[in-house]
Amino acid sequence: MADQKFDIVVLGGGSAGYATALRAKQLGFDVALIEKDKLGGTCLHRGCVPTKALLHSAEIADVAREGAAYGIQSSVAGIDIAGVLGFKDKLIDGKFKGLQGLLKANGITVIAGEGRLVSPDTVQVGSDRITGTHIVLATGSYSRSLPGLSIGGRIITSEEALELAEVPNKVIILGGGVIGVEFASVWRSFGVDVTIVEALPHLVPNEEESISKQLERAFRKRGIDFSLGVRFQSATQTDSGVTVTLENGTEYSADYLLVAVGRGPATQGLGFEEVGIEMDRGFVLTNERLATNVPGVYAVGDIVPGLQLAHRGYQQGIFLAEELAGLGPVVVEDANIPKVTYCDPEVASVGLTEAKAAEKYGAENITSYEYNLAGNAKSSILGTAGSVKAVRLNDGPVLGVHMIGARVGELVGEAQLIVNWEAYPEDVAPFVHGHPTQNETIGETMLKLAGKPLHAI
């Protein structure tokens, strides 16, 4: 391949990079997308899609196990882990083929190879120089560990956990954030003894506190053990197991230790600093319009500090392409991006927590209401406990919606429209929600906050 010139060169073909490429191409730019591994990146191959496939297998195990409660004679004869992994891999294969076809059909030039930024307008791939009027950095993230804790053997990250060809007896999970609680949920449904170690006082600590507490109750009921508020000290492993010691001296032993303490930016050795790009602990700093300090160089996705979510990456990619086309797109703040944790029960939220809203507007200026799913027929049919909590500015818009319960991830679509359109509960209250659906819980919450509750107390 000879040296080539494009309008836009995107380095990294994950969610953020390929979304940038697709929207840019639609807007008439000539686009190159450089990928060293597989198009689709973490989300498709090692993140969102495989974890949700495992969670679906886990849900089927739970449904089969609980059949008797619904008058169905069913049980779980065993977990065929090869079958579980086969289902996951087939799903990924299909989506991977689909994505490759989509990029091809859109006329995007995909360049296979590892790229390195060698100047503000050039990425080198092997001996080829790919030049762009605009360069978009989208190299994504990797699983972090803690100082002194090396990954290997029985100490694994989510990458190895997704390929584990056995159902272990016992697992310790370091980190009670999204990835940690999702794996805890899968393994528990498969019959594994699970212990989560979280240094902060709650599971899913970035969520509304009352939702975290309900998740802890639900996990306890499911037999998932956890230690909160105590820090990890050390881990040792043998051929057959691993032992974890906490700072208070507590010891846990298990077959595996899953390290789920967050994801770091994959930016090391790619030439970004040498070109003068401002960085912070490996993250690429941008302004709110995703421009770095070096003219012509932009960044999207997990390498930009903030929420590390695939749909944030998509949105940033679309935003940036439109920005480069001069369309002046609207900035969506991280707080207004929906978050879903797909454990059982699910957790979903958008906007400010009650504590954050009180900090920003003053506790006396906000009102919140938490509707219990026990009052919702569809949730009772599904046998799920949980709640929907909304926070509003008094005589003002809804600032945040926070939910827990089976399938509440599917409700976050309406919640994000309410929050992002700055709707008042009074605006939403007249609209109708089908009965019996779990959507009604959002309607009931809005009716209550608008001062005219129907089933709410």
What are the Cα distances from residue 22, in Å, to 11, 28, 30, 114, 325? 14, 10, 10, 20, 13
Q: What are phi and psi of 338, to 5 degrees?
A: -65, 145
Structure token digits, residue 327: 């369309």
Query: Which of residues 14 and 132 has its CB atom nearest to ligand FAD in the complex?
Result: 14
Give the alpha-carbon dihedral of 163, 168, 174, 178, to 10 degrees.
60
> Residue 142 CB, nearest distance to ligand FAD (Å)?
8
- State which of positions 39-58 bind ligand FAD (CB under 6 A): 41-43, 46-48, 51
Q: Give the separation between CA 63 and CA 56, rounded to whole angstroms.
A: 10
* By CB under 6 A, residue 24 contacts ligand FAD: no
Q: Which is nearer to ligand FAD, 47 or 405 (CB)?
A: 47
Member of 132, 140, 175, 180 binding ligand FAD (CB under 6 A): 140
CB of 308 to ligand FAD, least distance (A): 4
Min CB(147)–ligand FAD separation in Å? 21
By C-alpha distance, which of 63, 48, 58 is closest to 81? 58
H-assigned helices in 223-295: none
Residue 16 makes contact with ligand FAD by CB under 6 A: yes
Interacting positions 179-198 with ligand FAD (CB under 6 A):
179
| Residue 409 binds to ligand FAD (criterion: CB under 6 A) | no
Using the minimum distance from each CB to ligand FAD, give the nearer residue, 14 or 443.
14
Computed on alpha carbons and rounded to an integer, the radius of gyration of the chain in Å comes to 23
Q: Closer CB to ligand FAD, residue 35 or residue 444?
A: 35
Binding of ligand FAD at residue 158 (CB under 6 A)?
yes
Would you say 9 or 398 has its CB closer to ligand FAD? 9
Q: How far apart are CA 453 and CA 444, in angstroms?
A: 7
Q: Which stretch binds ligand FAD (CB under 6 A): 90-98, 137-145, 164-172, 272-280?
A: 137-145
CA 109, 110, 111, 114 torsion-angle sign:
positive
Question: Which of 28-36, 64-72, 240-248, 330-338 is the region at the interface with ligand FAD (rule: CB under 6 A)?
Answer: 28-36
Taking the complex as a whole, how short is the minimal distance between the CB of residue 365 and ligand FAD, in angstroms? 32
What is the token pair recorded at 450? 């608008």
User: What is the 3 state secondary structure string of 345-394?
Assistant: CEEEEEECCHHHHHHHHCHHHEEEEEEEHHHCHHHHHHCCCCEEEEEEEC
Residue number with CB closer to ligand FAD (12 or 132): 12
Whole-angstrom Cα distance, residue 17 to residue 133? 16
**Best CA proximity match to 299, nearest among 288, 287, 307, 291:** 291
Question: Which span (237-245, 308-316, 321-329, 437-445) binds ligand FAD, by CB under 6 A?
Answer: 308-316
Please enumerate in sequence order all residues whose Cβ is within 8 A of that of 89, keeping only pairs 6 or more positions apart, or say none: none
* 167 lies in the site for ligand FAD, by CB under 6 A: no
Which of 7, 37, 193, 209 is in the footprint of ligand FAD by CB under 6 A? 37
Task: Output the six-digit token pair for 254.
Answer: 């298990």
14 binds ligand FAD (CB under 6 A): yes
13 binds ligand FAD (CB under 6 A): yes
* Site size with ligand FAD, rule: CB under 6 A: 35
Q: Which is nearer to ligand FAD, 20 or 368 (CB)?
A: 20
Return the residue of 177, 180, 301, 400 that touches ligand FAD, per CB under 6 A. Answer: 301
Strands 283-284 and 279-280: antiparallel
In the residue annotation, 45 being an active-site residue is answered as: no
Among 311, 356, 433, 455, binds ligand FAD (CB under 6 A): 311
The minimum distance between CB 341 and ligand FAD, in angstroms, equals: 8
Q: How far apart are CA 172 and CA 155, in angstroms?
A: 10
User: How, if at all, do strands 225-228 and 193-198 pair?
Assistant: parallel
Please report how close the Cβ of residue 15 comes to ligand FAD at its closest, in angstroms.
Answer: 4
From residue 387, give the alpha-carbon distance in Å to each of 55, 215, 231, 384, 406.
Answer: 21, 11, 30, 10, 10
The catalytic residue among 45, 433, 435, 455 is 435
Neighbour order of strands in the sheet with 251-254:
232-237, 242-246, 251-254
- Site residues for ligand FAD, 241-270, by CB under 6 A, read 266, 270
Nearer to ligand FAD among residue 185 and residue 445 (C-beta):
185
**Contact footprint for ligand FAD (CB under 6 A):** 11-17, 34-37, 41-43, 46-48, 51, 114-115, 138-141, 158, 179, 266, 270, 301-302, 308-311, 313
Catalytic positions are: 435
